[in-house]
Amino acid sequence: MKYSPVIVVVAFNRPKSLERLLFSLKQAKNIENAKLIISIDHDEPKTVLVKKIADDFIWPFGEKEVIYHNQRLGLRRHVLQCGDFAKTYGSVIILEDDLFVSPYFYDYTVQALSYYDNDERIGGISLFNPPREELYEKPFVPINDNSDVYFMQFPSSLGQAWTGKQWEHFREWYNNEPDISVIHLPDKVFTWPETSWKKYFCAFLVKFNKFVAFPKISLTTNFNDPGSNMKFNVNHEGQTQLKIGNSNFRFINLRDSYCIYDVYFEIMQEGLNKIIQGLDEYPYEMDLYGRKNIEKITKPYIITTRQIINPINSYKRALKPHEMNVIFKLKGTDIHLGKKEDVLPNQNKNARAISDYQYYVFRRLPRFTMLIYNYILRKIARFY
């Protein structure tokens, strides 16, 4: 089935952000007819200019509708209401106002929604490719195969799309007010604010073993403008490379892909065993970032950067992305395969794992320099 998703812009009180996003939308290619909805949450008088920008904007690719809410919804309710347009129109693209899109964002989304239409394990489509894992902001790069996508049990909030069927499954579950505290999620997810719709979708993906299809080259990028979930712009970590070339996207079925990642941004055995021999006899989970709660791991074996008593195999940590060291069986003493119960506890959980990983990424800098760097980052994060 070929979809023609409605484009919904989630706007609030950031006029410059909205103007920038609308400018990028106007540069889109290969759109024949697509409805644009600009949904503005209530925050008068701050939203007066936002509404004027939305009203004055000329959308060259079809119908435009501006919705101005008379009562404050908040980010979570606002995004959820915008997602409901997937049921009304059959499919939807959600773009928050601090994004900027590739000229091929619509082409990619139409192709992706159509390709994964009948795959029950796909819970949505991401237009954004994160340059780092979002839990502790360490570098993340998926391994390469012969496709333009990878799969992850983690939600996308910087440009995402759903079919009506995908969204309805999530909405039915969400409307029953689920207790997400009983779902195996990273501890960091539970610290996200109550304004976050994303933590509920994260729990939904894990509970039902669904995945989001992510592009390897992003179709959106983010300016991290101050807003509901970010009070200050202290970095450009939302910025990532945008696709500006041709639109011949190569998709792959989830069952055939190597690039399958769990909610911790760790490659899963389901994908890794397709390209590596000799590990299928060990039911394992990956813990290369060294951040998983060992007690929540259900499999008997683990591949981790933590110390293990009597490891079965050990690997170096030199190739990137870090799972390549296991794939090529690069012998060393940094990554270990062993029994889950043989993992030694981290002596300095809050600092050691961060500094060790970033030393691996930025190995030309002295370790002491990285320790100081991480100390400053943690102080800044705590302040804001």
Which two three-digit tokens encode residue 127? 């237009």
Q: Is residue 177 part of a domain?
A: yes
Same domain, residue pair 121 and 163: yes
Same domain, residue pair 217 and 275: no
pLDDT digits (tens, 9 = 90+) for 27-58: 999 998 999 999 999 999 989 999 999 999 99
Instruction: Say what the pLDDT of residue 247 is.
Output: 77
Same domain, residue pair 78 and 227: yes
Same domain, residue pair 252 and 276: no
Q: Is residue 82 part of a domain?
A: yes
Query: How far is it, in rounded angstroms, from Cα 183 to Cα 179?
Result: 8
Q: Which of 244, 261, 278 is the last residue of a domain?
A: 261
Q: Is residue 187 part of a domain?
A: yes
| Cβ atoms of residues 326 and 335 within 8 Å | yes
DSSP-derived secondary structure for 260-323: EE-TTS-B-HHHHTTT-SS-TTS-EEEETTS---GGG--SSEEEESS-BSS-SEEE-S-SSSTT
Over pLDDT 70: what percentage of the chain? 87
**Band of the pLDDT at 231, cuts 50, 70, 90?**
very low
Distances (CA, A) of 374 to 96, 139, 363, 370: 30, 14, 14, 6
Q: Is residue 347 part of a domain?
A: no
Same domain, residue pair 57 and 142: yes
SS3 128: coil
Q: Is the pLDDT of residue 186 over 90?
A: yes
Q: Is the pLDDT of residue 173 over 50?
A: yes
Instruction: Say what the pLDDT of residue 351 is.
Output: 43
Mean pLDDT of 303-313: 96
Name the residue with higher pLDDT: 215 or 381.
215
Same domain, residue pair 257 and 310: no
With both helix axes pointing from N to C terminus, report the angle between 164-175 and 198-207 in degrees, rounded to the nearest 10: 100
Q: Is residue 222 part of a domain?
A: yes
Q: Which of 228, 245, 261 is the last residue of a domain?
A: 261
Mean pLDDT of 244-257: 91
Element (H, E) at 367: helix 367-383
Same domain, residue pair 171 and 313: no
pLDDT digits (tens, 9 = 90+) for 5-32: 999 999 999 999 999 999 999 999 999 8
Same domain, residue pair 303 and 156: no
Same domain, residue pair 162 and 306: no
| Structural domain count, the chain | 3
Task: Name which of 17, 8, 42 is nearest 226 in CA terms.
Answer: 17
CATH of the domain at 244: 3.90.550.10
Same domain, residue pair 151 and 290: no
Q: Is residue 151 part of a domain?
A: yes
Instruction: Say what the pLDDT of residue 348 is.
Output: 46
Name the residue with higher pLDDT: 88 or 374.
88
Over pLDDT 90: what percentage of the chain? 77
Query: How far is it, in rounded angstroms, from Cα 160 to Cα 132?
Result: 18
Q: Which of 211, 235, 261 is the last residue of a domain?
A: 261
Same domain, residue pair 334 and 229: no
The phi, psi pair for 11, rounded to 5°, reads: -120, 160
pLDDT digits (tens, 9 = 90+) for 311-369: 999 999 999 999 999 999 999 999 999 999 999 987 544 444 444 555 555 555 565 66
Same domain, residue pair 38 and 166: yes
Q: Is residue 1 part of a domain?
A: no
Range of the domain at 102: 6-261
